[in-house]
Amino acid sequence: MLEIIALIYLLALLSGILVGSISLPLVMSRNIMFSLTLLHSILGGAILGVFINTMYNLNIPIPLFATFTAIFFSILAAELVEKGFPEDTATAFSVAAATTITIVFSFYASSISSTALAEAWSYVMGASSLATLEDLTKIIVVLIITIPIVHLFWREFKYIAFDPEGAEALGLNVRFYRYLFYSIVAFVSAVLSSTVGVLVAHVILAAPGAFALKIYKKKPVILSYIISTLLMLTGYILARILNIPPSGGVGLTSTILILSMVILREHD
């Protein structure tokens, strides 16, 4: 029993670190709308995965479908922006396409299997309160890939968020770095979604970075890590106390954090 509890909190801790690594650059680049694309495309990808697995009797991991769909739609949105479309138009287009996939394949999946929709729904709400070694392995692998990339290109991500036009004139490959960042965020979001659920992953992606920038602009990186880790741990503890899924607990703590930001803004 103790081992299971330790596993759950270790998963929460590592998920927190993972969120902390991408939250700040995501907020800095003012791409909160972009996470809307992610939310819909992860969901669309998950349902597409459920459909393909059911249809062809396969056992391909659903996060794999979700990751590739999220990367595809994120890059599609980014490419539309590069082609001169306004960001909200590009996001709206990607969201519409991803939502269409969700609706169409939900329909087809439910018509061939009675459990398909329930499986997809678990992706929306998050896994049960039991953490598995498989979850932990997934998070560790994503951490090992993500954190070095984010910090290796930290200066570039920051600089492109600060002044994309100037960065391009200086010779930085803005498109490459933008796509790289979007792909990392899509990858992280898809894996997080498989543990805490799409909806909560969507909420917690931005909250730590935004709060870190709000309270101390000089050291936001370390602060983003601390806030996201605390957010996840307290969310999991809260979930245990209230006997709800971890996604519910994390959702509650994220909401409290967002409300604190609103109050802080009113005091400014």
Nearest residue (CB) to another protein, 28 versus 75: 28
Stretch of 116-124, 131-139, 212-220, 226-234 lying at the interface with another protein (CB under 8 A): 212-220
CB of 204 to another protein, least distance (A): 20
Query: What span, in angstroms and rounded, lies between the C-alpha atoms of 213 and 195?
Result: 27
Q: Which of 7, 13, 28, 226 binds another protein (CB under 8 A)?
A: 28
Nearest residue (CB) to another protein, 2 versus 218: 218
User: Does 268 participate in binding another protein (rule CB under 8 A)?
Assistant: no
Q: Which of 220, 246, 248, 249 binds another protein (CB under 8 A)?
A: 220
- x/- binding map, residues 46-85, to another protein, per CB under 8 A? --------------------------------------x-
Closest by CA position to 202, among listed 249, 145, 247: 247
Stretch of 27-35, 55-63, 66-74, 124-132 lying at the interface with another protein (CB under 8 A): 27-35
Site for another protein (CB under 8 A): how many residues?
A: 27
DSSP string, 106-146: HHHHHHH-SSHHHHHHHHHH---S---HHHHHHHHHHHHHH
Closest by CA position to 207, among listed 167, 234, 177: 234
Q: Where are the alpha helices (DSSP H) in the chain?
A: 2-28, 32-56, 62-82, 87-112, 116-125, 133-152, 154-162, 164-169, 174-196, 198-215, 220-242, 246-267
Q: Show contacts with another protein in window 161-200 (CB under 8 A).
A: 161-172
Closest by CA position to 22, among listed 164, 181, 173: 181
Query: What span, in angstroms and rounded, lies between the C-alpha atoms of 15 and 158?
Result: 23
CB of 82 to another protein, least distance (A): 12
User: Does 256 participate in binding another protein (rule CB under 8 A)?
Assistant: no
| Positions in the binding site for another protein (CB under 8 A) | 27-30, 84, 152-153, 155-156, 158-159, 161-172, 213, 217-218, 220
